[in-house]
Amino acid sequence: MAGNSFGEVFRVTTFGESHGDGVGAVIDGCPPWISLSPGDFVRDMARRRPGRDSLVTPRSEEDRVEILSGVFEDLTTGAPITLFIRNRDVDARPYEILRRLFRPGHGDYTYFKKYGHFDFRGGGRYSARETAARVAAGVVAGKILEPLGVKVVAYTLELGGIRAGCIDLDLIDKSPFYCPDPVSSQRMEEAVSNTRKEGDSLGGIAEIRVIGCPAGLGEPAFDKLDADLAKAVMSVGTVKGIEIGAGFEAARFKGSKNNDPITPSGFGSNRAGGILGGISNGDEILLRAAMKPIPSISQEQDTVDREGHPAKMSFTGRQDIAPIPRVIPVLEAMVKIVLADHYLRSKTILKEEPIESSIFAKTPIW
């Protein structure tokens, strides 16, 4: 109801604020017997952590995941798994100005209208800090997908208008921006550096691929796989647009071009982005997310105070210049959570022996 949970069988509830004790997640519905230990979280938490690229954000965080429940002797037990990430290095001083003023582009004003208050210490609940809990939960989701051979990879397609010219998945981790094209990555670095000097910020586009997803995940009506992916990704604060497969381009194709031909060896193209009728078709799932620039900028902006009087504000706290690269592991996590959930959901359909009938055929293809 209050919307802090996601998923049906694999159900993640996040909690915590940017300047409180910490952030965390309770995962209910994770099967037992899955190996899980604090070390499993290190890589993704580090990828989300700022400071990896010194150009992007100077804030230093050490995001160690504590497992408070649900794991015994490094195996999940079937009980709810609680992950907790303590806040450190939380200097709320730059946020003092928020006691009076609403930041343009932030949720300060809408929180104030909804709850009658907002947390002046950097956003509180709606801070991007909450996504640390999502990344941690995504690691657990990944443990369910791994034995199935499902791999989720996100990377930067575009940053500040600079688009990757080629896509080599092996190069992603070599780029501070998770950009699969080294040349573009270099140009992105310059763009970020210049934008920082201007006191401004940048947006970008990420692309996410799911490799090895089995056919049959997703539900026909409202919980289509693409619908749940769209919600998952759009629930990341910075995202303003989503595409599946050909996306907006499909709107300009004719049917004869947009339809992926079916051949004995698989689909002849992948404009569908791996999903047909809301259900995965066994091909690569492909989606893109457009992200707005970080709203906190040091340039002076027009705003009002809590009484509605006009004011000027410029933000001096340590901030990212772009949601990229930190959002990349968050997007991966959300996609993994959707897939793990739909995979477990798919198990509730009984596999009885098919009966011969006009609509029920016995022979599977591929």
At 269 the three-state DSSP class reads coil
Residue 20 CA neighbour count, 13 Å, CB half: 16
Judged by CB under 8 A, the number of residues near a copy of itself is 171
- Hey, what are 10's tokens? 């694999």
- Near a copy of itself in 312-341, by CB under 8 A: none
* Closer of 182 and 216 to a copy of itself (Cβ): 216
82 CB neighbour count, 10 Å cutoff = 18
Asked whether 90 and 19 are in contact (CB, 8 A), the reply is yes
- Residue 290 lies near a copy of itself (rule: CB under 8 A): yes
C-alpha 26/C-alpha 4 separation (Å) is 10
As a residue count, the chain comes to 366
User: How near is the Cβ of 42 to a copy of itself at its closest, in Å?
Assistant: 20
Instruction: Write the binding mask 5 to 34 for a copy of itself: x where contact by CB under 8 A, - elsewhere.
Output: xx-xx-x-xxxxx--xxxxx-x-xxxxxxx
- Near a copy of itself in 44-63, by CB under 8 A: none
Which residues, other chains included, contact 350 with Cβ-Cβ below 8 Å and sequence gap of 6+?
A: none
Asked whether 341 and 142 are in contact (CB, 8 A), the reply is no
Asked whether 253 and 198 are in contact (CB, 8 A), the reply is no
Residue with tokens 């709203």: 295
- Residue 125 lies near a copy of itself (rule: CB under 8 A): yes
Q: Which span sits near a copy of itself by CB under 8 A: 36-44, 46-54, 153-161, 170-178?
A: 153-161
* Closer of 170 and 261 to a copy of itself (Cβ): 261
At 311 the three-state DSSP class reads strand
- Residue 155 lies near a copy of itself (rule: CB under 8 A): no
User: How near is the Cβ of 7 to a copy of itself at its closest, in Å?
Assistant: 9
Q: Which residues pair with 24 in a beta bridge?
A: 15, 84
Nearest to 187 by CA among 214, 210, 159: 159
- Residue 90 lies near a copy of itself (rule: CB under 8 A): no
- Residue 365 lies near a copy of itself (rule: CB under 8 A): yes
Asked whether 126 and 237 are in contact (CB, 8 A), the reply is yes
C-alpha 152/C-alpha 140 separation (Å) is 13
- Residue 94 lies near a copy of itself (rule: CB under 8 A): no
Asked whether 246 and 273 are in contact (CB, 8 A), the reply is yes
Q: Return the residue of 203, 209, 325, 335 that touches a copy of itself, per CB under 8 A.
A: 203
- Residue 140 lies near a copy of itself (rule: CB under 8 A): no
- Near a copy of itself in 163-192, by CB under 8 A: none
Q: Which span sits near a copy of itself by CB under 8 A: 47-55, 170-178, 181-189, 298-306?
A: 298-306
Q: Return the residue of 37, 64, 277, 316 that touches a copy of itself, per CB under 8 A.
A: 277
- Near a copy of itself in 207-266, by CB under 8 A: 215-216, 218-224, 226-235, 237, 240-248, 250-256, 258-264
* Closer of 153 and 234 to a copy of itself (Cβ): 234
